Amino acid sequence: MISRRKEDSFLAPDLTPLIDVTFLLLIFFLVSSVFKKEQQVLKLTLPQSLSGIKASPKNKLSIHISALGIIAFNGKAVSSGKELEPDFLKLPPSSSFKISADKNTAYEKVIEVLDILKKNNFHQVSLVTTKGKKI
């Protein structure tokens, strides 16, 4: 007489291939996903430029200026550039910056930030644009 337990054990499916496929899918999605290094605090539409060079992103501090004139530095939004000066005093003079300003930003706001950077002896400044279409 065959016991009932032995018959039931033969009916169980082998889950090993299913686990293997699950781990392969997990590895595929981890490898193929893109991680953002820098997250913008403000939603910006950058101006287009035909000329320019691709700047190296290494060790550049980001300053974002919205169309409404809101300035963000290190994830902190401020209403005027003068509020940035205490943060700039903590940085070494060799620091480099990239300024991302919305295309509808008042020119005065960009100049205000540039003046504060120059006043604090920061001279390595880049303006970020998107690549434009050829005319």
Contact at 8 Å (CB) between 34 and 28?
Answer: no
CA distance 127 to 114: 10
Nearest to 106 by CA among 49, 64, 47, 65: 65
Percent of the chain with pLDDT over 70: 79
What pLDDT is stored for residue 26 in this prediction? 93
Encode pLDDT of 90-128 as tens digits. Answer: 888 888 888 888 888 888 989 998 998 898 888 888 888
| pTM of the model as a whole | 0.62
CATH code of the domain made up of 48-131: 3.30.420
**pLDDT, mean of residues 79-94:** 83
Tokens read off for 55:
């700047």
User: In terms of DSSP bridges, do strands 76-78 and 71-73 run parallel, antiparallel, or are they unpaired?
Assistant: antiparallel
132: confidence class by pLDDT, cuts 50, 70, 90: confident
Nearest to 101 by CA among 126, 57, 78, 67: 67
> Residue 65 is which amino acid?
I
What pLDDT is stored for residue 14 in this prediction? 83
Share the mean pLDDT of the chain. Answer: 80
